[in-house]
Chains A and B, each alone.
Chain A
């Protein structure tokens, strides 16, 4: 993978890397992190892996002061996981917990409030990662899957004319 060329890209790739830790082998509840889609809305079929994640990037909101643009970017992490028909809530809460832990907690147990590294500093502001709303997507009748979404907002600063740096 090429090196990130902008703060946005560095933040997004770090988010994907953190979510990739969501595997049962690493102590999480699910293997959703084995299949992550960034910037697309996948539609899996019966022959595809049972669990997966998709990262949706929303429209940013910006503030401009002089030559500095401060952008807040909504990042939604969507998940689909299989469920035993009798316990959909357990499956929903398990994947929500997985996402929050993978994104917000470092391997040493400390919390992390930034995303990505570019040119020796965090790609977002040092405390530029915030959590938004959490959605629980219930099981429909006849379905073997549930879903969830956790929204984050990444705030970063770019120089006007800096190509996203």
Chain B
């Protein structure tokens, strides 16, 4: 049985239900209007190996691959977190996971 249509429906529902409107701007590319899903941030203790440390939120977001085919490091994302008004611009810092239908990327706020 081909479940491709069902998977696409689930993806669409997820991004509609959990996603927020965003503009993704890969380096040297045109802006792409899409929806991204903020994932629950983890708390990291940084810098690793230091006696002076900070507890810092490590933020990740899901970006659908059918609308944004490539998300290289340095890609900018114009969006705010749920319930927040700032920061409203983020930079992709690392690729955390490549799923069949979406990327999970680590982002940092643009100063």
A interface with B by C-beta (< 8 Å): 37, 41-46, 48, 52-54, 56, 76, 78-80, 84-85, 135, 137-147, 149
Contacts and interface: CB of A to CB of B under 8 A. Distances in A.
Contacts of A142: 44, 58-60, 93-94, 106-108
Interface residues of B, number: 25
Interface in B34-49: 44-49
B25 to A, nearest CB: 16
Nearest to B42: A142
Nearest to A35: B52
B53 A137 contact: no
Given A76-B51, A84-B111, A141-B93, 10 more contacts: A45-B54, A80-B52, A80-B53, A140-B44, A141-B94, A142-B107, A143-B44, A143-B56, A144-B108, A149-B51
Contacts of A44: 52-55
Nearest to A140: B46
Contacts of A140: 44, 46-48
Interface of B: 44-60, 91, 93-94, 106-109, 111
B52 A54 contact: yes
Contact of A147 (B52, B57, B59, B60): B52
Q: What DSSP secondary structure best describes chain A's contact surface?
A: strand
Given A37-B52, A52-B52, A137 B108 contact: no
Contact of A143 (B46, B91, B111): B46
A135 B55 CA distance: 20
Nearest to A84: B111
B93 A85 contact: yes
A85 B53 CA distance: 18
Contact of A144 (B50, B53, B94, B109): B109
A143 B47 contact: yes
Contacts of B93: 85, 141-142
B89 to A, nearest CB: 12
B56 A145 contact: yes
Nearest to B41: A142
Given A142-B58, A143-B108, A42 B48 contact: no
B50 A78 contact: yes
A48 B107 CA distance: 21
Contact of A56 (B51, B59, B109): B51
Contacts of A141: 58, 93-94, 106
A137 B48 contact: yes
A140 B106 CA distance: 11
